[in-house]
Structure 1
Amino acid sequence: MKSQTVGEIESLIAAFENCTLPRDEWNHHAHLTVALWYLTRYSEAEATNCIRDRIQHYNKVSGIQTSNDSGYHETITLFWIRIIGRYLPIARQDFSLLDIANECIKNYGDKSFPLQYYSRDRLMSWQARISWIEPNLKPLD
């Protein structure tokens, strides 16, 4: 899902923050865009807290409960924050937010990307869902 305008990104963020984003639109690309939005406005620590808190709030309002195979996932959330945080300094300086968002989705739009770093069993474990765990296939940094 390529964003066509900055207005589309802003609408996505507003709907996410207001918990009016339809559940079927809360997909991987929306997650990446939300992470990028906060990481371009706050320090990584502040962005991480905002992203975590707002995803959990959105899930609660939307009736999405955390279980073994659904809901908030701490390791995946922090993984993508690190990947996008690492991407931002190398993004072209003359790129607009729209360009950066679309390039980020182009580079990281495959939601199986974390499996280059984690075995499926490790990443899908309950421990990974509730807390950060380090990759076991290759280091993140």
Structure 2
Amino acid sequence: MTDHSIRSFDSSTAVRHLGERLIASCLPREEWTHEAHVAACYWLVAERPDICLANDLPGIIRRHNDSAGTPNTDSSGFHATITHCYAVGVAAFHRRCDGSQPLVDRVNVLLTAPEGARNWPLHFYSRESLFSVEARRAVILPDVGALPE
């Protein structure tokens, strides 16, 4: 896996704005980075209890991809299993957080935590399983280790 430096967020406002633009399907494609995925997911868990990640996040991401010109196919766009894996990890991280810390601090710590790492899903899925068409289309069971509860 390529080594990438982590791009932290400057403010809680920036995290919220990112999440709001994702929901509104107006986030530029180039801003939809790994860090943006993780930060938006955390913002949804922490500040948008009206949105159920399991039910709503797939549609939010698919709509965003459509608006940004990223096709949702068997080889690009929305990936059900990776999305589910991060949603589970981000929610587990959030349960351990001190909610009195600013949102940006929690997000930036998450980006350096195991649950925010680019290889987080590979703790639970083999590369072959995770990058299969079946895993992209629907959430599949882990074949390496159990996801956190």
The correspondence for 2:78, drawn from 69, 72, 91, is 72
Counterpart residue type for residue 86 of structure 1: A
Q: Segments of 4+ in structure 1 off by > 3 A?
A: none
When normalised by structure 2's length, the TM-score is 0.85
Distance 1:23 1:93 in 2: 30
- Give me the TM-score of the superposition, normalised by structure 1: 0.90
**What's the % identity of the aligned pairs?**
26
In 2, the alpha carbon distance for the partners of 1:135 and 1:70 equals: 21
Equivalent runs, 1:84-103 vs 2, <5 Å: 84-103=90-109
**Secondary structure in structure 1 of the residue aligned to 2:52:** helix
Residue number in structure 1 paired with 2:49: 42
Q: How many correspondences in the alignment?
A: 140
Residue segments in structure 1 that go unaligned for 5+ positions in a row = none
Change (3 A) 1:92 1:39: same
Equivalence for 1:125: 132
Does the CA contact (< 8 Å) of 1:38 and 1:51 recur in 2? no
The answer to whether the 8 Å contact 1:38/1:50 transfers is no
Q: Deviations over 1:29-75 (max 9, x none)?
A: 111111111112217x7233232111011111222112332110000
1:4 Cα deviation from its structure 2 partner:
1.0
In 2: Cα distance, 1:93 partner to 1:34 partner: 17
CA–CA distance in 1 between the matches of 2:146 and 2:53? 22
* Separation in 2, partners of 1:11, 1:94: 20
TM-superposed CA distance for 1:140, in Å, is: 1.0
Q: Does 1:60 align with 2:66?
A: yes
Evaluate the alpha carbon distance shift between residue 31 and residue 117 of structure 1 in structure 2; reply closer, same or farther with a 3 A threshold.
same
Mapped to 2, the partners of 1:122 and 1:115 lie a distance apart of: 10
Letter of the 1:28 partner, please give it: H
Whole-angstrom distance in 2 between the partners of 1:48 and 1:37: 15
Output aligned runs, 1:98-113, within 5 Å. Answer: 98-107=104-113, 108-113=115-120
Letter in 1 for 2:9: S
Mapped contact 2:26–2:67 kept (Cα < 8 A): no
1:35 touches 1:81 (CA, 8 Å); kept in 2?
yes
Measure, in 2, the Cα distance between the counterparts of 1:19 and 1:134. 29
